[in-house]
Amino acid sequence: MSYAAGIAALNERHGVYGAARVEAGNGGLPKIAIETRLCKAEVYLYGAQVTSWKPAGFEEVLFVSKQSHWEYGKAIRGGIPVCFPWFRAKPDDPKAPMHGFVRTKVWEVGSIQREPDESVRLVLSTKSDDESRRWWPFEFRLEYHFRIGKTLELELRMHNTGPLELQFQEALHTYFRVGDVKLARVRGLDNVRFLDNRDGNKEKVQKGDLVISKWTDNAYLDATGPVEIVDPTLGRRLVTQKSGSVSTIVWNPWSDGAANMPDFGAEEWPGMLCVEGGNVLGQAVALRPDASHRMAISLGVLAT
């Protein structure tokens, strides 16, 4: 079966007339294109990555770099990558892929369906194989559940299918599109402890709203409450609510970091801000054999 025929077969099996279609995206990679009265969205099977979400009445919520790679073996820069089973570099193997390996795997389509309110539910999955065992010697299955409409609801379900207890880190690495990151601020982290990756991972405490004024890479600990980006330039608030997550990460590479990233335009950094839910670093999740863990993230947009 040809590549195009494979995409056509996926659409024939899973497409929902008037709501969701499987088609070729950038670089020919298969994507699920969603369009209803509630929103427009795109989800790539490569990495199970949401790359676009436009709820009705609002501009694009997510940032994707114009310099992003769209090819197998390289991560898509932007949208909502899935970081698993480690976050940042793998401590015991510098050759391992940054943020884990599932963002460069093609996920399987479980189901696509339209709800009575016209939101679209989508289930994608992936599991351990020879390639994953090369980096991480455990058996697992991941299911990723999406509910896409006026809000974007994401739930990552991890199941330990092997005989050994394991630990993993995870994050839904959301790249938000902002009008000007220098004018935006992040609310909801006041008095929360964080590790500053730009200062040797020293533990610090956030005071008041976070204002981005330099290369920022903070991992907030025991951060379970809602967080919002106040964006006066685009006149909106981007709200993240979550469950099953005790870490919140905030990242922007600023001009110095962006200059060293080949898949990120040197002038793009003012237009994005990552605020993401996860369980990372010392807050990794431990799972016994046959045990499961769920992390859910809900994204919403409000006018200011």
Identify the helix (H) or strand (E) that includes residue 8: helix 3-14
Integer Cα distance of 276 and 163 in angstroms: 31
| CA end-to-end span of the chain | 50
* Catalytically annotated residue among 173, 203, 267, 268: 173
User: With contact defined as beta carbons under 8 Å apart, do 6 and 23 qualify?
Assistant: no
> Does 276 participate in catalysis according to the annotation?
yes
User: With contact defined as beta carbons under 8 Å apart, do 47 and 64 qualify?
Assistant: no
> Does 14 participate in catalysis according to the annotation?
no
104-125 in b/e form (b: 16+ CB < 10 A) is bbebebeebebeeeebbbbbbe
Residue 286: count of CB within 10 angstroms of its CB: 11
- The residues near 271 (Cβ < 8 Å, ≥ 6 apart) are 63, 177, 178, 179, 180, 181
Residue 197: count of CB within 10 angstroms of its CB: 17
Residue 221: count of CB within 10 angstroms of its CB: 17
Structure tokens at 33: 């294109």
Integer Cα distance of 210 and 288 in angstroms: 37
Structure tokens at 150: 């006026």
Structure tokens at 72: 């197998």
Structure tokens at 55: 């709820």
Active site residues: 173, 276
